[in-house]
Structure 1
Amino acid sequence: MQQLLFDWLGIDATTAISKPNRPTAPVPPAQAAPEVEASQAPPALDLHQALAPARFSHPQANRSIVLGDAHVAYAFRRGARRTIGLSVGPEGLTVAAPRWTPLAEVEALLRQKSRWVLDKLSQSRERGAAEALARIDWREGASVPFLGQPLVLRLDPRQRHGPGGAGAVRDGATLWLGLPQGAAPERLRDTTQAWLIGQARRLFAARLDHFAPQLGVRWQRLTLTAARTRWGSASADGSIRLNWRLIHLSEALIDYVAVHELAHLREMNHSARFWEHVGEVLPDYAQRRGTLKHERVPAW
């Protein structure tokens, strides 16, 4: 079955490369982080801290190397493979090599790819910090983003805001959870998640129905996913997969992803014709796409 995947832009959890057989083009520099407002600026560092080299350490590190000004401790493994593989994930750098490869050759590749390695390690560290800030403290009064706006969680032991059972009912900017006072954080999380997924299924189906005629296509099935690295995907048989976490974002961004996937039912690629189809429905798609690249959603 032909299938096209839509990257969860800017949230790629793990990236891997293998030792090339020929020289490759230089890796472009990492995108600069947005400027921080003066009121949010971090405290000043003294000179020693400012000049201290970066350190990256994998929890299972058994080798280390200095790349540029950074000290990198990495997990090194040997196995039945033909090439040296480098991968950067949430824990750090992992290097896999054939059993017969000399360590000098492994370190030579690391130095050759040092810019790529340091860029990916820095991005992974920044991603982890952003996810830590996005974690929700599951208690009454916590807020959860819904369609781009905060939704405050309140407990409703007597079920005054809806039918009986541990459900949830939205009232403006408040989400009433049918749970007793003192309910465990896990119950708040699970009840909220179930409500959000239900909202996502209804809204996504409605938006697909709205845009499909404009693109001259018919979608056959909607599946919600919880992937960490994809916003959605489309298959040639008309199946659409959308990440339920999109419900945290604004309707404008949800519409962009819906149109993106529906347009793949016309063109299973990212050719100029594909983008023409997207632009016919959403003339400002480039702006929405740029915004989506920098969005972050809560870690569940």
Structure 2
Amino acid sequence: MQGLLQFTMDLFEGLGSEFAPPAPSPAAPRRAKKPKLVAPPAVPAAPPTLVEPYDKDAPPAIPLAETLTLANFAHPQATRQVVLGTARVAYEFKRGKRKTIGFLVGAEGLSVRAPRWVALRDVDAAIQEKADWILRKLTETQQRHARVEATRIEWKNGAQFPFMGEPVVIQLDPKHGFASVGGTLDAAEGDGPRTLRLAVAQNAEPSQIRDAAQAWLMRQARRLFIERLDHFAPRLGVSWQKLSLSNAATRWGSASADGSIRLNWRLIHFGLPVIDYVVAHELAHLRVMDHSHRFWETVESVVPDYDLLRQKLKDEAVPRWS
């Protein structure tokens, strides 16, 4: 196809006669007995058109009126787009040294990778074949992002976030130094949230309050993680050597054959059962360094309901710290 694609939408469709252009006033008669001469009604102008450049690599165009009802998923580095069911998906497309077409749905959207020799029509066919999976993952990711955005914390006196699955409210308390711990978590009173008193000035900047809260949480996380590692390691018959705290955006933990364990400090937002699942998961890798059936049997031996906890880890939104 060459040239430009034109999309036309009738702006006058369904409008009443009162919106029609008025006819010119009738001409005055020269003699009383002669019939009046009336000018013919004006012809409405042609509806405007929306013109978009045609991209030979783009999928077939669809009427503009239909695009208004489609869900939109757009990758910020999108170079191609496709309509899948009731959604328009703009995706990042790259070629490289690989043998198969690959799909990745992440926080930014859909990325497609293809070998250099694969024709675009074959890429389009592969996308259509994976349409249900792609739309499900994009929807899940979008919903998860919305939940995370809803948990964004406004860092000030009275800010709230979850600690080990329970809500905690920040109270700025500059009169107390709290020694080297930076803050104190008060005992629970009634059904309300517990109070975390931080040694921060009342006029502190939001970033100062955030950093103080994060430092306190990381100390709690390290203490708890060591306790749970020591609990599960003997039961799994393994020995861990070193614990590091990570701040990864999408990874909760990792394990190395030398016994090094990395755990995301933000796990401290979850309840203890979820934390135990992640700890046991990483320790199990010291016995089985893959995700084979034998690996999951190893996890199940110490965390029987690991599958439910694994799903909870995926579904629950933790506070967004940036």
Q: TM-score, normalised by structure 2?
A: 0.67
Q: Give the CA RMSD over aligned residues.
A: 3.0
Q: C-alpha distance in 1, partners of 2:207/2:75?
A: 30
Determine the structure 1 residue equivalent to 2:158: 141
Q: Give the residue type in structure 2 aligned to 1:147.
A: M
Decide whether aligned partners of structure 1 residues 216 and 180 sit closer, same or farther in structure 2, where only a CA change above 3 A counts. same
Q: C-alpha distance in 2, partners of 1:130/1:88?
A: 17
Q: C-alpha distance in 1, partners of 2:296/2:92?
A: 41
Are residues 1:128 and 2:145 paired? yes
Q: Give the residue type in structure 1 aligned to 2:212.
A: T
Are residues 1:198 and 2:219 paired? yes
Shift, 1:69, TM fit: 2.2
Q: Give 3-state SS (helix, strand or coil) of 2:232's partner.
A: helix
Shift, 1:82, TM fit: 6.7
Shift, 1:205, TM fit: 0.6
Q: Which of these residues, 288, 294, 297, is aligned with residue 267 of structure 1?
A: 288
Q: C-alpha distance in 2, partners of 1:285/1:94?
A: 30
Contact map agreement 2:144 2:315 (CA 8 A) in 1: no
Q: Which range is displaced more, 247-256 or 103-112?
A: 103-112
Determine the structure 2 residue equivalent to 1:17: none
Q: C-alpha distance in 2, partners of 1:92/1:271?
A: 29
Q: C-alpha distance in 2, partners of 1:80/1:261?
A: 32
Q: Give the residue type in structure 2 aligned to 1:133.
A: A
Decide whether aligned partners of structure 1 residues 55 and 206 sit closer, same or farther in structure 2, where only a CA change above 3 A counts. same
Matches for 1:53-72 after TM superposition, within 5 Å: 53-72=70-89
Are residues 1:162 and 2:178 paired? yes
Q: Which range is displaced more, 74-83 or 201-210?
A: 74-83
Task: Provide, for residues 10-63 of structure 1, a one-character-per-residue CA deviation record: whole Å limited to 9, x for no partner.
Answer: xxxxxxxxxxxxxxxxxxxxxxxxxxxxxxxxxxxxxx99x9332222334443
Contact map agreement 2:182 2:199 (CA 8 A) in 1: yes
Q: Which of these residues, 227, 230, 233, is aligned with residue 254 of structure 2?
A: 233
Q: C-alpha distance in 2, partners of 1:102/1:279?
A: 45
Are residues 1:179 and 2:200 paired? yes
Q: Give the residue type in structure 2 aligned to 1:108.
A: A
Segments of structure 2 that go 5 or more residues without pairing to the other structure are 1-64, 188-193
Q: How many residues align?
A: 250
Decide whether aligned partners of structure 1 residues 61 and 286 sit closer, same or farther in structure 2, where only a CA change above 3 A counts. closer
Q: C-alpha distance in 2, partners of 1:237/1:187?
A: 37
Q: Give 3-state SS (helix, strand or coil) of 2:252's partner.
A: strand
Decide whether aligned partners of structure 1 residues 288 and 107 sit closer, same or farther in structure 2, where only a CA change above 3 A counts. closer
Q: C-alpha distance in 1, partners of 2:255/2:138?
A: 31
Determine the structure 2 residue equivalent to 1:35: none
Decide whether aligned partners of structure 1 residues 197 and 108 sit closer, same or farther in structure 2, where only a CA change above 3 A counts. same
Shift, 1:197, TM fit: 0.7
Task: Provide, for residues 254-286 of structure 1, a one-character-per-residue CA deviation record: whole Å limited to 9, x for no partner.
Answer: 122222222332333444544444344344444
Decide whether aligned partners of structure 1 residues 288 and 63 sit closer, same or farther in structure 2, where only a CA change above 3 A counts. closer
Shift, 1:67, TM fit: 1.7
Which structure is higher in RCO with an 8 Å CA cutoff and minimum separation 6?
1
Q: Give the residue type in structure 2 aligned to 1:124.
A: T
Q: Give 3-state SS (helix, strand or coil) of 1:137's partner.
A: coil
Segments of structure 1 that go 5 or more residues without pairing to the other structure are 1-47
Shift, 1:288, TM fit: 3.3
Shift, 1:236, TM fit: 1.9
Q: C-alpha distance in 1, partners of 2:309/2:221?
A: 19
Identity of aligned residues (%): 56
Task: Provide, for residues 233-254 of structure 1, a one-character-per-residue CA deviation record: whole Å limited to 9, x for no partner.
Answer: 2222211111111111111221
